[in-house]
Structure 1
Amino acid sequence: MTRPSSARQRPPRSENSLGILFGIGAYGLWGLLPIYFLILLPATAVEIVANRVLWSLLFCALLLTVLRGWTTVRTAFRNPRVLGTLTVAALLIAVNWFVYTYGVTNGHAIEASLGYFINPIVSVLLGVFVLRERLRPLQWAAVGMGFVAVVVLAVGYGNVPWIALALAFSFGFYGFVKKRVGPSVDAVSSLSIETAVLTPIAAAVMIWLTLSGGATLLTEGTGHFWIMAASGIITAVPLIFFGAAARRLPLTSIGMLQYLAPVLQFILALTVFGEEMPIERWIGFGLVWVGLALLTVDMIRTVRKNARPRRPELAGAAA
């Protein structure tokens, strides 16, 4: 007997749809991160990053216990190549975190968003100079647009946009280094090892700040303490969402979603932080956006070309 339509169960959500939701969650949370830093004031960038490392390690330890992932971590620690690679990755992401936090908390949120806008262009440059890859015409055009944009923005800012360039190159090299690890270490284990490597430095920084009277963790009230402690969750959750999205989505979809974070950061810088956007910056950002559009078109064309089935060879006339 056929069940009435109202009683029928909805079909399970497709893997692609779940991947899109996870991707939006990851890049959306990363895009809203400046609000979190604003709430943490008067904490400095140094203290925020140090706490981010310490609380992330604690949260990752809980996750590894729940997910029974300690075996992967122990295996990685016993492998000098993997441990050395993740140590370099840890130092790069620490630089990235500090520069980004410093930029947001010191009136440079627009320039910080620029860093993540030009990151794909920097990744293309790394492919040329590090991996000796050959660029396609649209990729060359995008690189040219990026170079001109940096010149225009340097004129607009009155100096080279060091914050944006430091963010783009640190994150670009971070992605390059992480690829050398490959699939041998999952996202949670990788973050756990990276934060473990940084923990002695972060702990020393917090001790120094406390002794010098510069720490706010215990001086700004209970609410401030727990908001600071939440940095572990705020760091790990988007990464987990990103890993779930990457397993379900093709590269083109991930490439399109990655622009959500800097777009949100840019909007927040204009509307919440009230930063100025003179005409020179609009021109520079416009050039970057054109370059990103060219990269996106090139990526989509390349994926479609590679996915196109080859024509089978003609069989003989006689069957």
Structure 2
Amino acid sequence: MYKGIALSVLASITFGILYFYTRLLGDFDGQQTFGWRIVSTLPFLTLFMLFSGDFAHVRSIGQRLLKNPVLIFVFLLTSFLTCFQLWLFLWGPMNGRGLQVSLGYFLLPLALVLTGRFVYKEKLSILQKIAVALAIFGVGHEFWRLGSIAWETVSVAVGYCLYFMIRKKIQTDNLGGFWWDILLCIPVAIYFIQASGESITQVIGAPILLLVIAGLGLLSAIGLGSYILASRYLPMVLFGLLSYLEPVLLAGASLVLGESIGPDEWLTYIPIWMAVIVLVIEGIRHMYIQQRKTQNLKRNVEKYNERIE
């Protein structure tokens, strides 16, 4: 449980950093940045998996594909969902739509929580129910304010939910399945890179960009790898609730990058930020209870040992 929580927090912080980091790529547009990100992520992700021992999943999934080639169509779907989300994550802040994308990440945890509750029959604690109620109020206000939700917002919330459900269904909810998703993205990434000859020329003419691209791949591998592992170690409800940290950081990054929250948007963001605070309280409470249980267990063991002696 603690490992999953730590991985989820690490992923959220890394994604927040990436919002700023992409600015180091200068004049690259969203497509070029996406292409370089995918190409540079795969080798670092492979090293990450070799270090963690998760690369065995790549081989086992490869064997499954050989035995059942029809699975490749499912992998093409999950790969498309992955490619689209990674592209949207970069395209948003580069095109003044960072807040709409970040709102999608605000909505995503709620969608994951509801999926966990109604699809996988997971239970919510009282504080988790309060957090969900606050999040529903914030999202509901956005519907009332606009009459609809931006396509970027819906794409993030629905797309990721669908992605995780498919991967659970075909039992590839591990880094091996994600590795294959990234591998299948490579042709699309190369197309985006070579579509603009200037991108390659810039990299050749400025070797420092190679280091920036390598850093992009390293951060992506850490963030995405940690996120996928967290989804595996945590129940869907807790995974969804912890995911609220990411949109808070992304919204903050969008504001720093020059975007702003309008007067009529505060009732969308404030309830969701309050939901995050409630979840922090829930997390502290959970850690306190676990610590007390551990201490009581140690005391009982010590008393038992004393009786035996």
Q: Same fold (TM over 0.5)?
A: yes
Q: Which moved more, 1:113-122 or 1:55-64?
A: 55-64
Q: Which moved more, 1:55-64 or 1:26-35?
A: 55-64
> How big is the shift at 1:152?
4.1
> How big is the shift at 1:289?
4.9
Conservation of the 8 A alpha-carbon contact between 2:112 and 2:240: no
> How big is the shift at 1:118?
0.6
**Amino acid of the residue matched to residue 195 of structure 1?**
I
2:187 equivalent in structure 1 = 200
**Amino acid of the residue matched to residue 184 of structure 2?**
V
Q: Are residue 178 (structure 1) and residue 162 (structure 2) matched?
A: no
Q: Are residue 221 (structure 1) and residue 209 (structure 2) matched?
A: no
> How big is the shift at 1:282?
0.8
1:234 to 206, 219, 223: 219
Conservation of the 8 A alpha-carbon contact between 2:110 and 2:240: no
Q: For the structure 1 residues 146 and 263, does the alpha-carbon distance in structure 2 shift closer, same or farther, using more than 3 Å as the test?
A: closer
1:41 equivalent in structure 2 = 26
Conservation of the 8 A alpha-carbon contact between 1:51 and 1:229: no
> How big is the shift at 1:222?
1.5
> How big is the shift at 1:123?
3.9
Q: For the structure 1 residues 153 and 31, does the alpha-carbon distance in structure 2 shift closer, same or farther, using more than 3 Å as the test?
A: farther
More helix by share: 2
Q: Are residue 167 (structure 1) and residue 159 (structure 2) matched?
A: no
1:154 to 146, 153, 159: 146
> How big is the shift at 1:215?
5.0
* Cα distance in 1 for residues equivalent to 2:17 and 2:73: 32
Q: Are residue 122 (structure 1) and residue 111 (structure 2) matched?
A: yes
2:10 equivalent in structure 1 = 25
2:137 equivalent in structure 1 = 145
**Amino acid of the residue matched to residue 97 of structure 1?**
L
Q: For the structure 1 residues 74 and 164, does the alpha-carbon distance in structure 2 shift closer, same or farther, using more than 3 Å as the test?
A: same
- For structure 1, the 5+ residue unaligned runs are 1-14, 305-319
Conservation of the 8 A alpha-carbon contact between 2:38 and 2:182: yes
* Cα distance in 2 for residues equivalent to 1:160 and 1:257: 23
* Cα distance in 2 for residues equivalent to 1:180 and 1:60: 23
* Cα distance in 1 for residues equivalent to 2:233 and 2:166: 23
* Cα distance in 2 for residues equivalent to 1:65 and 1:126: 32
TM, length-normalised to structure 2 = 0.72
Q: Are residue 113 (structure 1) and residue 102 (structure 2) matched?
A: yes
Q: Secondary structure at the match of 1:263?
A: helix
**Amino acid of the residue matched to residue 74 of structure 1?**
G
Q: For the structure 1 residues 24 and 202, does the alpha-carbon distance in structure 2 shift closer, same or farther, using more than 3 Å as the test?
A: same
Deviations for 1:243-283, whole angstroms, at most 9, x for unmatched residues? 5545665666534431111111112222x212121111112
Conservation of the 8 A alpha-carbon contact between 2:178 and 2:228: no
Q: For the structure 1 residues 217 and 24, does the alpha-carbon distance in structure 2 shift closer, same or farther, using more than 3 Å as the test?
A: farther
- For structure 2, the 5+ residue unaligned runs are 290-309
1:74 to 47, 62, 73: 62
Q: Secondary structure at the match of 2:28?
A: coil
Deviations for 1:43-98, whole angstroms, at most 9, x for unmatched residues? 11101111222222233444556645352242243233543322211101211111
Conservation of the 8 A alpha-carbon contact between 2:78 and 2:181: yes
* Percent of aligned pairs with the same amino acid: 21
Conservation of the 8 A alpha-carbon contact between 1:54 and 1:202: yes
1:8 equivalent in structure 2 = none
- Cα RMSD of the aligned pairs, angstroms, is 3.9
Conservation of the 8 A alpha-carbon contact between 2:35 and 2:189: yes
Conservation of the 8 A alpha-carbon contact between 1:113 and 1:262: yes
> How big is the shift at 1:205?
2.2
2:263 equivalent in structure 1 = 279
Q: For the structure 1 residues 141 and 216, does the alpha-carbon distance in structure 2 shift closer, same or farther, using more than 3 Å as the test?
A: farther
2:301 equivalent in structure 1 = none
> How big is the shift at 1:35?
0.9
Deviations for 1:138-159, whole angstroms, at most 9, x for unmatched residues? 699678636533324527xxx8
Q: Are residue 191 (structure 1) and residue 175 (structure 2) matched?
A: no
Conservation of the 8 A alpha-carbon contact between 1:113 and 1:265: yes
1:309 equivalent in structure 2 = none
Deviations for 1:159-202, whole angstroms, at most 9, x for unmatched residues? 852222222222222222222222x5631x22221112111222
